[in-house]
Structure 1
Amino acid sequence: MVNILVSVNPDLASSIAIRYAGQISQFMEIALQPIHVKEPEQKGNLFGTGWVRHTWEQALAEKGEEEINLLIRTEKPHCPALAAPRVVVGERETEILRELQIGKYDLFMEGVLASFDEADFKKLVSSKLYQNAPCPAIVVKNLVSLQKVALLSYEGLEPAKFMDDVTDILRQLKLPLEVIHLVPRKHIKDLEVNEGGQNTQEFNNLVDAIGKKGLNFEKGQVLTGHPKDIADYLSRYGLVVCAVRNVLDKKSPIYTVLAFTPSPIFIC
């Protein structure tokens, strides 16, 4: 059983995230807890304390709950594991972090409609929520078919730590795994695809780490080319797994690859 917290709003991005979780539930047993954080439109302590503030917060929560209940009823047929929503009032990242820590979740999910904006993606993964989350996260950009998984390797990756973070979920998911080593080069016009990849040390290190965890992978490739071309190639995967938090340099071209990849991104 994988315990998942999904952040929801009454919008298309949340609908896509829930339906993608429904696909995941076809491969492994999940519990999906939706959370909606209703943020006050005005910041600061403008509504007093005690009974006055409690009444105001309760009214906000009830309004948010009406909107989210409609979403849940609509999406429940696509994901039977979907539980009743939790609606809280407060600062979004703080409240989600609190719930992740209290609930001891295995995975966090949210829908983020693909904007293909590198600055937006960097802002997302460098946020307080993603940097301090006690579990990995899946950013769902599009509703794609979940049939195979890409594990990304790149220069400087720590494969043992990477596999520690993702093995439990990948073992339960039981989908075909492919190891993809990335060599982003902006000056290369045509994408070079090298089947095998055994001559790349980082590739070999990740394969060894996968073997030590008792997982199997179907094949490996080395992709050399412009980051956007690599991103287009990765669109054939239903899930792209990459170590991002606290490991990538701010100027790393891996950010460009991930920002332009239309597939859901498993971030650890």
Structure 2
Amino acid sequence: MINALVAIDLDLGSSLAIRYAESISDLIDMTVQSVHVVVPDKSGPEPGMGWVRKTWETAMKNTDREDIERFLELENAVRPRFFKPKILLGDRQEELLHELQAGDYDLFIEGALPTFNPADFNALVNSRLYKLMPCPAAMIVKNLVTPQKAALLLDDDIDYSPLVSSFLSVLNKPVMDLDVYYCRFGKGSDVEVVSQAPDSPLFAKAVDKLKEAGWEPKACREITGSPKEISEALREYSLAASALKHSSNKKNPMAETLGRVLSSVLLCWG
């Protein structure tokens, strides 16, 4: 049973996340907890201590709770899977980190509308929330396309073993078609796709581990090009999965590729 936390606000990205989580939960055995963080308005003074502050916090939570519950009711016309959200008060990243740690979640889900600026995605995955995220994977939802075909992306900077382990911890049974790519990033003008697996023992071990778990990749390919070219070559996929390092602060081509793809992203930690 996958234990997932879905972060929601009153916006389109949250609508995408809720509907996508519901479609994923039809494919795998998954429980879903929604959470909303009330961020205090810093423009005005906050009450001090004791019952005055507690009353103020309760009033703020209750106001947002009513709005969020109405929002969820509209998003769940058929199945009330996401009712009774947790309402937290404080800094959004800190409160989400605390909830992820306390709830022992396997997957974090949030919506992020597609952007033509890869720097937006890079800022997201380099935020404090993602750097310190304790769960093995995060799903960044960009659209409502039902996940039917996935691309697992590998390159030289990725430790294949934890990537595949994290991937299997979420998608522990074959519920969609899967292709595995070894990415060679360059600055050429054209993308090149070789319809055969690269000559790499590590790549072969990653594929073998997938097969042992019941995933039989439809294709294993090598793809060469810039992040922009590679992302455009992956348009047929409804899900792109790869890994980034918690410790990395620099821009890297895999992060740019994941930021540019139009599909939703399953981000594992390498």
Same fold judged by TM-score > 0.5?
yes
Deviation per residue, 1:154-190 (Å, 9 max, x gap): 112211111222212222452222101111212x112
Deviation per residue, 1:56-113 (Å, 9 max, x gap): 1111111111211111101113654323211111111111111111111111000011
Aligned to 1:261: 261
Deviation per residue, 1:104-137 (Å, 9 max, x gap): 1111000011113222212211112112112111
Change (3 A) 1:193 1:248: farther
TM-score, normalization: structure 2? 0.91
Partners of 2:249 and 2:183 lie apart in 1 by: 15
Spell out the pairing of 1:162-241 with structure 2 (5 A cutoff). 162-172=163-173, 174-186=175-187, 188-200=188-200, 203-241=203-241
Cα deviation for residue 244 of structure 1 reads 0.9
Spell out the pairing of 1:1-268 with structure 2 (5 A cutoff). 1-42=1-42, 46-77=46-77, 80-135=80-135, 136-172=137-173, 174-186=175-187, 188-200=188-200, 203-246=203-246, 250-268=250-268
Cα deviation for residue 202 of structure 1 reads 5.1
Partners of 1:122 and 1:261 lie apart in 2 by: 13
- Deviates further, 133-142 or 114-123: 114-123
- Runs of at least 5 residues in structure 1 that lack an aligned partner in the other structure: none
Deviation per residue, 1:186-224 (Å, 9 max, x gap): 2x1121111112335553342234245453222111111
Contact 1:21 1:79 in 2 (8 A): no
Change (3 A) 1:44 1:223: farther
Cα deviation for residue 48 of structure 1 reads 0.6
Secondary structure of the 2:77 match is: helix
Partners of 1:247 and 1:35 lie apart in 2 by: 26
Partners of 1:106 and 1:205 lie apart in 2 by: 24
TM-score, normalization: structure 1? 0.91
- Deviates further, 221-230 or 7-16: 221-230
Percent identical residues: 36
- Runs of at least 5 residues in structure 2 that lack an aligned partner in the other structure: none
Contact 2:141 2:264 in 1 (8 A): yes
Change (3 A) 1:29 1:84: same
* Structure 2 counterpart of 1:240, one-letter code: A
Partners of 1:225 and 1:89 lie apart in 2 by: 45
Contact 1:38 1:64 in 2 (8 A): yes
Change (3 A) 1:27 1:170: same
Partners of 2:234 and 2:12 lie apart in 1 by: 23
Equivalent residue pairs, number: 267
Partners of 1:200 and 1:233 lie apart in 2 by: 22
Q: Compute the RMSD of aligned alpha carbons.
A: 2.1
Partners of 1:49 and 1:157 lie apart in 2 by: 48
